[in-house]
Amino acid sequence: MTRLLRTTAMVTALVLIALLLPVGAFAKTLEEWMEGYDTGAIWFGEDFHYDITNEEACWELLMKPITVLDAGQKEMIAPRTGPGQEYPKVNEDKLGGTINGDAAAVHVLGEDENGWTKIEGVDYYNRIIRGYVRTNLLKEVTPNKEYGIIVDKLTQQLYVFKDGKLWSSCAVSTGLPNDEQPYNETAAGEYLMVSRVGDFDSEGMICAMALRFNGGDMIHQVPYVFLADGTKRFSTWEAKLGQRASHGCVRTARIANEDGLNMRWLWDNIKIGTKVIVWDDYGRRQPYPEDSLELYYNPNGGSYYHGDANCRSVKERYLPLTGFLYSELDGEEFADLERCVTCMPVLRKSEIDELNLARGVEPPAKEEDVAQPTGDEDAPPSSLDTSLVHEADEDEVIIVITPAGE
């Protein structure tokens, strides 16, 4: 009896200690979740040039057939460590170690072995999973020939190619993983648009016009919530466009740019079978904008800096706005200005430094590398279209930003 009482007391004490420890005390860090795996950063090859201005190379990649797993578009296939069902799964983490059916590209690494073939694909954590799947699941698919989409996690832009040419781009937010939810990443790789989901509710937030491209990951409009009077509020999360913020989906601008590109345009024009390429950002450095880049502000009490002299978020009587240079942005006169969430001007140098460090890259030297980011020092300046302007109807109230969906 005494031994039983001691054992019971010990168990009770351990339970109390566990309850008193902070949540996540036993959780892995994001780095530990990724340990031992290659990532989507090498999916296109270690010498790949991330150059959005090379239209020919981008279009060739967008039109190249891919091999997918012939399964349901929401079915997750778990590769095995050997050629047979009796072998264990390569990885059994929550939402990890699997390749989504019908949409996600895989690389075939070997020949058939008794009905099984070794492949590699990218899981929700952005880890490359290598293992065996049934050979009869492998299916080659040729993408739609009219359009192609590239999502660049470095620039947080979605680029639309049409008939071999870069047509336009708009701001997006890709996944923001953390220690507790490492699967919130938007995995790099090659995918196919497989279904038109439409609007869905994510914890009270409405994600409109969703297009599925990788299992639970979709391209959809930046979310909104309904207010008591029935109006839609695009709040905090719309301000996050241009930086990581989602649970893995690609949140896309609702306000059309000067070319008419926004989520509504994608919904109306992009067809099932269109290829979606996601470029990784890890190890790529985002340079500073040129010091001579012109920005704008309202000297009559304005609280924001802008990338457009006639930004639609500003009352007409204050237009056009007064210009100043990017080199002056961190000076005393402009240090307190916030970034406009409508015209989405460039980030401050300190914000770019933080993003570069998160990608494992030291900030550039003060006086060098001021070209627009391409992620490749040998490639010509490209990627981030700093002149991109989001427009709204003249009488529209822009409450920008929302809590967001996936």
Structural domains in the chain, sorted by start: 66-141 (2.30.30.40), 147-177+188-279 (2.40.440.10), 294-345 (no CATH)
What value does the mean pLDDT of the chain take?
Answer: 86
Q: What does pTM read for this prediction?
A: 0.78
- pLDDT at position 237 is 75
pLDDT tens column, 2-38: 444 444 555 454 444 444 444 444 579 999 999 999 9
Residue 264 has pLDDT above 80, yes or no: yes
| Token pair listed for 188 | 């790099």
How far apart, in Å, do the first and last CA atoms of the chain sit?
Answer: 54
* Average pLDDT of span 229-240: 82
- pLDDT at position 364 is 64
- pLDDT at position 374 is 52
pLDDT band at 203; cut points 50, 70, 90 = confident
- pLDDT at position 365 is 63
- pLDDT at position 331 is 96
396: left (phi over 0), alpha (psi -120 to 50) or beta: beta
Query: Could you give the CA distance from residue 106 to residue 130 in angstroms, rounded to a whole number?
Result: 10
- pLDDT at position 400 is 36
Of 154, 171, 160, 248, which is closest to residue 210 (Cα–Cα)?
A: 248
Query: Could you give the CA distance from residue 14 to residue 30 in angstroms, rounded to a whole number?
Result: 27
pLDDT band at 129; cut points 50, 70, 90 = very high
Residue reference for tokens 């196919």 = 192
Q: Which residue has the higher pLDDT, 346 or 278?
A: 278
Question: Dihedral angle at the C-alpha atoms of 360, 364, 370, 372, nearest 10 degrees?
Answer: 0
Query: Could you give the CA distance from residue 114 to residue 136 in angstroms, rounded to a whole number?
Result: 11
**Percent of the chain predicted with pLDDT > 90:** 70
pLDDT tens column, 383-406: 334 333 333 333 333 333 333 344
Query: Could you give the CA distance from residue 361 to residue 353 in angstroms, rounded to a whole number?
Result: 9
Beta pairing partners, 111:
none
pLDDT tens column, 168-179: 999 999 999 999
Span of 127-141, 316-330, 366-380 with lowest mean pLDDT: 366-380
* Average pLDDT of span 68-95: 97
Are the beta carbons of 81 and 131 closer than 8 angstroms? yes
* Average pLDDT of span 284-304: 94
Residue 124 has pLDDT above 60, yes or no: yes
Beta pairing partners, 151:
158, 278
* Average pLDDT of span 237-245: 85
264: left (phi over 0), alpha (psi -120 to 50) or beta: alpha
* Average pLDDT of span 285-305: 94
Beta pairing partners, 149:
160, 276
By DSSP bridging, strand 217-221 and strand 66-69 are unpaired
| Token pair listed for 70 | 């012939």
Of 262, 168, 149, which is closest to residue 213 (Cα–Cα)?
A: 149
